[in-house]
Amino acid sequence: MNEILSLKDVVIDYDRNGEKVRAVAGVDLGLRPGEILGLVGESGCGKSTLGKAMVGILKVTEGEITFDGERVKKLTRGRRPKHFRNLQMIFQDPYGSLNPRRKIGVQVIDGLLVGGMRKSLALLKAAELLAKVGLPEDAVDRFPHQFSGGQRQRIAIARALAASTTVLIADEPISALDTSSQAQVANLLVDLVHEFKMGMVFISHDLSIVRRISDRVAVMYLGKIVEIGTTSQIWENPSHPYTRALVSAIPHADGASFMPSDLPGDVPNPMNPPSGCRFHPRCQLALPKCTTEEPQFVTLTDNREVSCFLQREGESPASITL
């Protein structure tokens, strides 16, 4: 199937105190229309940086990102070219993306007015969209501070819907919410993605929720994708040692206990990444060549892609003992 959002060999550098940090170190990734792609990894692995580049908030240093066939460029003063209005992002902190001095209705109609709708009609439509995300009728006339965190995230979602979004980048959209709001907002997102036939990249460190809502999952480690597969492939038969460690660390289905993760240490500093396979200092299965050579992506028989010397092209994970 064609990809509506496509990343080819994307590298993103930024400057930290005069030193170059490579936050994203060569990522190939594709989102198909209507699918939910989970992007997971520990804090600091580059997944949020990658998400911001997908919508043009951050500049790509090398490689390219295309949306619906056109190259995504960095936004100039927040202005979004017409072609990219259907590519939207929601953030962990919805309050930061709302103007505290503007009424909610006015903020939601921006996307409708840009699309050429009359203001009176746009306000009616905004009220309809706010009701759709579960907010009260009078929400259009209220200000952001009058809502809870979960409600503000619903406003951000309504605003994305007003822009006729076809691809939504959701960056940790529920991690700042209280427990009861988390499930509600996640369910709302999934329902709307299906109803409006959007594609969504769901960025999260919470593997439990990614497992529940995603069609496919990409696992990121220190600026690189190390494994991509369907959600059932990733959870039932994880292939990369890092994926295995992540999966072993999530709660059992009955919620009774956590299995111990075998993963020692923290994510290394991206300013000084390890040589060879970036995961080798934490990998209990590392081979001598893992310290000097970088593994390439291979496609396994079940169509998943993995970057690890223990995996060989054309072999299924089940035939390999890690």
- Which residues of the chain form contacts with ligand SF4 (CB under 6 A)? 240-241, 277, 279-280, 283, 285-287, 290, 295, 308-310
User: Nearer Cβ to ligand SF4, position 117 or 286?
Assistant: 286
User: Nearer Cβ to ligand SF4, position 52 or 224?
Assistant: 224
160 membership: H or E segment, kind and range: helix 149-162
**CB contact at 8 A, 186 and 174:** yes
Classify 310 in phi/psi space as left (phi over 0), alpha (psi -120 to 50) or beta.
alpha
Closest separation in Å from C-beta 223 to ligand SF4: 14
Closest separation in Å from C-beta 291 to ligand SF4: 8
Following DSSP, what letter does each residue of 181-239 receive, concatenated? HHHHHHHHHHHHHHHTT-EEEEEES-HHHHHHH-SEEEEEETTEEEEEEEHHHHHHS--
Closest separation in Å from C-beta 290 to ligand SF4: 3
Query: E strands within the chain?
Result: 5-16, 19-31, 36-40, 62-67, 70-71, 87-90, 167-171, 199-204, 216-221, 224-230, 297-299, 305-307
User: Nearer Cβ to ligand SF4, position 135 or 219?
Assistant: 219
Closest separation in Å from C-beta 285 to ligand SF4: 4
Which residues are paired to 31 by β-bridges?
A: 5
Closest separation in Å from C-beta 312 to ligand SF4: 12
CA distances from 92 to 204, 209, 210, 270 (A): 10, 15, 15, 23
Closest separation in Å from C-beta 318 to ligand SF4: 17
Report the first-to-last Cα separation within the chain, whole angstroms: 32
User: Nearer Cβ to ligand SF4, position 114 or 285?
Assistant: 285
Pair of tokens at residue 29: 């990734």
User: Nearer Cβ to ligand SF4, position 114 or 287?
Assistant: 287
User: Nearer Cβ to ligand SF4, position 173 or 270?
Assistant: 270
